[in-house]
Amino acid sequence: MVHNTLFKVAEVELTYKPKYKPSERPQISTSKQAHEVFIAHWSLGKIELIEEFKILLLNRKNRVLGIVDISMGGVTETLADPKVIFAVALKSGASGIILCHNHPSEELQPGKADVDLTRKLQQGARLLDILILDHLIVSKDAFYSFADEDMM
């Protein structure tokens, strides 16, 4: 006998319990501000060791909804799965996303994989009416912004 619960679709679950009013949340209007927010939430002991990928979720007024750790990889790469990124963005009601990852080598120039991923995410985001506002490559003290370099 097959149970009906066997056919229930599994659901991604996020809990939204804001501790602050939207007007109290930081508003991001520059890549420098985004870098500061990301670095404040990064384990600086790992930034030169392990590549990580995070996203900053924003509302329509570019106020921060939250930061989500998407993946942690090895010394030379990490995997950023678009399905995970968009599932989190949709569940949180985000209107905008800023992508961010570090290069443990501190070489801030994007590689081909970085550019390809950014384009792929932009295409998917357009279908969902979400804006990919920037993609930062960060180190402790510096960053590269796709938007500042007209690559968005």
What local confidence, expressed as pLDDT, does residue 141 receive? Answer: 87
What local confidence, expressed as pLDDT, does residue 25 receive? Answer: 86
> 54-58, 75-79, 98-102, 145-149: which range is least confident on average?
75-79
pTM, rounded to two decimals: 0.85
Quickly state the pLDDT bin for 69 (edges 50, 70, 90): very high
| Domains, the chain, ordered by start | 25-145 (3.40.140.10)
What local confidence, expressed as pLDDT, does residue 33 receive? Answer: 97
pLDDT digits (tens, 9 = 90+) for 43-54: 988 898 999 999
Mean pLDDT value across residues 101-116: 94
Mean pLDDT value across residues 102-114: 93
Task: Give, in degrees to the nearest 5, the angle at Cα 87 between 98 and 22.
Answer: 55
In single-letter form, the type of residue at position 39 comes to I
Query: Measured between alpha carbons, how far is 96 from 60 in angstroms, rounded to an integer?
Result: 7
What local confidence, expressed as pLDDT, does residue 86 receive? Answer: 97
Q: Three-state secondary structure along the chain?
A: CCCHHHHCCCCCCCCCCCCCCHHHCCECCCHHHHHHHHHHCCCCCCCCCCCEEEEEEECCCCEEEEEEEEEECCCCCCCCCHHHHHHHHHHHCCCEEEEEEECCCCCCCCCHHHHHHHHHHHHHHHHHCCEEEEEEEECCCCEEECCCCCCC
What local confidence, expressed as pLDDT, does residue 2 receive? Answer: 59
pLDDT digits (tens, 9 = 90+) for 3-37: 666 667 777 665 666 677 777 888 999 999 999 99
What local confidence, expressed as pLDDT, does residue 1 receive? Answer: 57
